[in-house]
A and B are shown apart, each in its own frame.
Chain A
Amino acid sequence: MEQKTTPVLKGGSDPNGIRGLPPYLIIAGLTVLCSIGLFSVVSHVRMMPEAASYEATWVDQAFDGLLKLTIPIFSLVLMTLLFSVVRFRTRPGRPHEEGVRFDRSRGEFVEVLWIAISLVLTVGLAAFGAKEFRLIRGTDQADVDIQVNSSQWSWEFFYPSYNQYASSLILPEGKRVRLLLTSKDVVHSFWVPEFRVKQDALPGKVVKLLFTPSKTGTYQLLCAELCGTEHTIMTARVNVVDAKAFEATMKEESWEGR
């Protein structure tokens, strides 16, 4: 019964456009407009905090890349949806009508095309992600080692080569540092938004995190893993200073020495 009452779409000129424009053209135009609008929004709103490590520039590049991928997809799907809703809605008072089904071969073509495109995009995306991740992790070579001891709810830093303890983190600009993270009690997480890279600190284990601060300034270290009552205020000051100042501070006997 369905077969008889529901007309089947055939190729040829499309009567579903608006004012003589074919629907595909309208959707394409709307998609371009929507993408331009969204790109201008994300370029005017500062999404990321300032980048203060070399790794941060890679993360930001990855983030921008994903925006370039997702905004057009979002626009295309949304505009197709909106076009369909506007163009194919029934107005009140119209007699009851049935929709038009696709003929099978045309439907199958669309299915295969859709899957192929999404597979290619996915694989490409993963390849980019893997490449950028390797760049972010880099080599295991570091100029400075720092032990980071976390506990509920404070941070403590130890510089083995200088035999210095500190309650705030001092880092040399442009030198690659290796943090050796550990926890005395529960899981904590080392995160300085300006450095981007985040790493949990686990009890009973030492986890490495390597990165290179690239900009002098004062930042805040935040615990990013829920760790109990005072998780909210488990923060510490981070100072990135130039390499000379770093050496000088480290050699000062009295500097927070314990």
Chain B
Amino acid sequence: MTNLIRGLVSFGVASLAVAFLLARALPREAAASLGYLVGLFAFLIGVGGLAAFQHWLKDKEEEQVHGWQRYFRFTTDHKVIGVQYLVTSLVVFVLAGVMALVIRVELAKPGLQFLSYDTYNTVMGIHGIGMIVVALIAIIGGLGNFSVPLMIGTKDMAFPRLNALSFWILPPAVLLLLSSLVTGGFDFGWTAYPPLSVRGPLGKLFFVLAFISVGFSSIFGGVNFVATISQLRAKGMSLFKMPIFVWSILAAGIIIVLATSVVASALLMILFDRVLGTTFFDPSQGGNVLLYQHLFWFYSHPAVYIMILPAFGVILELLPVYARKPLFAYRLAALSFVAIVVLSFVVWAHHLFTSGMWDALSIPFMVTTELISVPTGVVFLSALGTLWLGKLQLKTPMLFALGFLVNFLIGGLTGIFNADVPTDLHLQDTWFVVAHFHFTIMGGAIFAWFAGIYHWFPKITGKMYNETLGKIHFWLLLIGFNATFIPMFWLGTRGMRRRVADFPPDLASVQLWISLVGLMVVLAVAVFLFNMIRSWVKGESAPSNPWEARTLEWNP
């Protein structure tokens, strides 16, 4: 704990001191950027990053810290880092969830209730980018870090210190993002389209810096997974003997490595436009605003596969365990992950059908986008084939895996309406899109994340979670989630735009319904947190392999 506090204090003091000192000599934004950069390094040193590198230089073993203290310092143990990621994702999930709650209170009635337009935009943006970060790191960073090295039979990740660095970049980035609430906020959602993002308050700069930081963290993690999985597998574990979860992390890792640098450069161009006076996106100086949208979505569409491939991996890993039979069409499912990786790089412009891009480009991008439904369909085939003639044990992780299939089915099929150019002309930037991606990311990735947490909870903590509370969590969330988000499809087709703080009165009853049933989701998450904390502190001891799973991490 002392390490974390030391880090946070160094971050605050160093960044503020540097920023205010430099502000005398430099423009405000340049001073703030440099201040953050210095603060970031101060934070890393404060949490013990330097010590880890000193040990490495002197070729000494890292000192072992036991007990809960180890979770609050710079350590290289992949299991500790996995738990750090899991808990951090939960914290950000709750923070961004509170933002969702604020949005729902605001949208319970027509007219403005208690937020100004600017605050609404910032709250909505923080909810968006916060949840994006959760979806990016929760499964890969949390469950991946914990389980992958064990599943492939290696001691640790290929680059343990890089692994720790990748995690510890996140807390300052999240703090910076939250501080945008008091520095003017940002009014461009999570996409930061220029020219809107190249002018305006400091809060926007903070968003850009935080985004770039998370990008670096993600790249470090991705490189690490690709290196670990390709180089450190136990003898005899050929590619097609790897657990399907490992396949999914490898696939996601490849996308991270190839795509993230593109969005990082797009955000850097925004930073340069703001701080250095370049004009990448200023049309009056020969810049091009569509360039940003292409660069942004070249990453940000593959990014949804970074979120969902590990979710597929978790589900296909868990179904055989709780259906008591081998995964159906394992090889084909692994190959479909590869197909998704390849296709994910040629679909980005389906976000630009109404952007003013050349019309003729829409058709090929529609074709490639719809082609992704083929490998995604294979995942469903694999899942259904595994359930067929199984002996299904309907434990909480299995329930979440089944819930994933239902939600993702809706999310995937409604995606076709967005991929189809004629219907997208109407649906683009409406709540139909909002409902669609909540079904894929929340109903998909987050459900899979919960499934994975319950499944590996006995392995991570050595305790059993409470099964009854787990089932209550599941049913509250499944019903609450669907009741909340299904009406949003209707709102979208009826003409409700995205990212607005108000709506026409004829939609009022549905909006009120959404705000009310949304509370079920809040309740479900509260039950989950209670169960996790209580079980970790005083749950029953778990047997070494409670699910009789056959992957290596359960070997005593």
A30 smallest CB distance to B (angstroms):
14
Which of B22-30, B147-155, B378-386 contacts its partner? B378-386
The answer to whether A232 and B384 touch across the interface, beta carbons within 8 angstroms, is no
Which of B82-90, B359-367, B456-464, B513-521 contacts its partner? B359-367
In the assembly, what is the distance between CA of A49 and CA of B409, in Å? 26
Interface string of A119-160 (1 = CB under 8 A from B): 100100110011011001100000000000000000000000
Kindly identify, within residues 282 to 336 of chain B, every residue whose CB is under 8 Å from any CB belonging to chain A.
Answer: 283-284, 287-290, 323-326, 328-329, 332
Task: Report how many A-B pairs have Cβ atoms within 8 Å.
Answer: 242
Kindly identify, within residues 396 to 442 of chain B, every residue whose CB is under 8 Å from any CB belonging to chain A.
Answer: 402, 405-406, 409-410, 413-414, 416-417, 420-423, 425-426, 428-430
Which residues from A are CB-within-8-Å of B421? Answer: 129-130, 132-133
Identity of the chain A residue whose Cβ is nearest the Cβ of B424 in the assembled complex: A198
The answer to whether A49 and B494 touch across the interface, beta carbons within 8 angstroms, is yes
The answer to whether B354 and A200 touch across the interface, beta carbons within 8 angstroms, is yes
In the assembly, what is the distance between CA of A137 and CA of B354, in Å? 12
The answer to whether A77 and B409 touch across the interface, beta carbons within 8 angstroms, is yes
The answer to whether A98 and B391 touch across the interface, beta carbons within 8 angstroms, is yes
Q: Is A17 an interface residue (CB 8 A)?
A: no
A4 smallest CB distance to B (angstroms):
14
Q: Is B388 an interface residue (CB 8 A)?
A: yes
Which of A167-175, A221-229, A249-257 contacts its partner? A221-229
The answer to whether B501 and A63 touch across the interface, beta carbons within 8 angstroms, is no
- Assuming the contacts A77-B384, A125-B416, asked whether A49 and B378 have C-beta atoms less than 8 A apart, the reply is no
In the assembly, what is the distance between CA of A238 and CA of B17, in Å? 54
Kindly identify, within residues 48 to 99 of chain A, every residue whose CB is under 8 Å from any CB belonging to chain B.
Answer: 48-49, 58-59, 62-63, 66, 69-70, 73-74, 77-78, 80-81, 84-85, 88-90, 96-99
Q: CB < 8 Å: which of B120, B356, B371, B495 contacts A199? A: B356
A113 smallest CB distance to B (angstroms):
9
Kindly identify, within residues 5 to 54 of chain A, every residue whose CB is under 8 Å from any CB belonging to chain B.
Answer: 6, 9, 16, 45-49
Which residues from B are CB-within-8-Å of A74? Answer: 409-410, 413
Q: Is B553 an interface residue (CB 8 A)?
A: no
Q: CB < 8 Å: which of B287, B371, B392, B405 contacts A122? A: B371
Q: CB < 8 Å: which of A16, A46, A226 contacts B499? A: A226
Report the contact-size class of chain A (Cβ under 8 Å from the partner): 35 or more
Identity of the chain B residue whose Cβ is nearest the Cβ of A135 in the assembled complex: B422
Interface string of B494-508 (1 = CB under 8 A from A): 110111111000000
Q: Give the B interface residue count (CB, 8 A).
A: 81
In the assembly, what is the distance between CA of A196 and CA of B421, in Å? 12
Identity of the chain A residue whose Cβ is nearest the Cβ of B415 in the assembled complex: A70
The answer to whether B117 and A230 touch across the interface, beta carbons within 8 angstroms, is yes
Q: Is B91 an interface residue (CB 8 A)?
A: no
The answer to whether A125 and B370 touch across the interface, beta carbons within 8 angstroms, is yes
Q: Is A236 an interface residue (CB 8 A)?
A: no
Q: Is A186 an interface residue (CB 8 A)?
A: yes
In the assembly, what is the distance between CA of A203 and CA of B291, in Å? 13
Q: Is B551 an interface residue (CB 8 A)?
A: no
Which residues from B are CB-within-8-Å of A119? Answer: 374
Q: CB < 8 Å: which of B388, B410, B493, B499 contacts A47? A: B493
Which residues from A are CB-within-8-Å of B414? Answer: 70
Which residues from A are CB-within-8-Å of B393? Answer: 89-90
Q: Is A248 an interface residue (CB 8 A)?
A: no
Which residues from A are CB-within-8-Å of B354? Answer: 189, 198-200, 224
Q: Is B175 an interface residue (CB 8 A)?
A: no
A183 smallest CB distance to B (angstroms):
9
- Assuming the contacts A187-B289, A193-B494, asked whether A99 and B384 have C-beta atoms less than 8 A apart, the reply is no
Identity of the chain A residue whose Cβ is nearest the Cβ of B118 in the assembled complex: A229
Which residues from B are CB-within-8-Å of A137? Answer: 359
- Assuming the contacts A78-B409, A85-B394, A136-B422, asked whether A99 and B195 have C-beta atoms less than 8 A apart, the reply is no
- Between A and B, 5 residue pairs with Cβ closer than 8 Å are A47-B490, A59-B423, A118-B374, A119-B374, A226-B499
Binding site for A on B (CB under 8 A): 117-118, 120-121, 187-189, 191, 193-196, 200, 283-284, 287-290, 323-326, 328-329, 332, 354-356, 359, 362-363, 366-367, 370-371, 373-374, 377-378, 380-381, 384-385, 387-394, 402, 405-406, 409-410, 413-414, 416-417, 420-423, 425-426, 428-430, 490, 493-495, 497-502, 548
- Contacts A48-B494, A102-B389, A132-B422 aside, 4 further interface pairs with beta carbons under 8 A come to A66-B416, A85-B387, A98-B391, A130-B421
Binding site for B on A (CB under 8 A): 2, 6, 9, 16, 45-49, 58-59, 62-63, 66, 69-70, 73-74, 77-78, 80-81, 84-85, 88-90, 96-102, 107, 110-111, 114-115, 118-119, 122, 125-126, 129-130, 132-133, 136-137, 181, 185-187, 189, 191, 193, 196-205, 207, 222-233
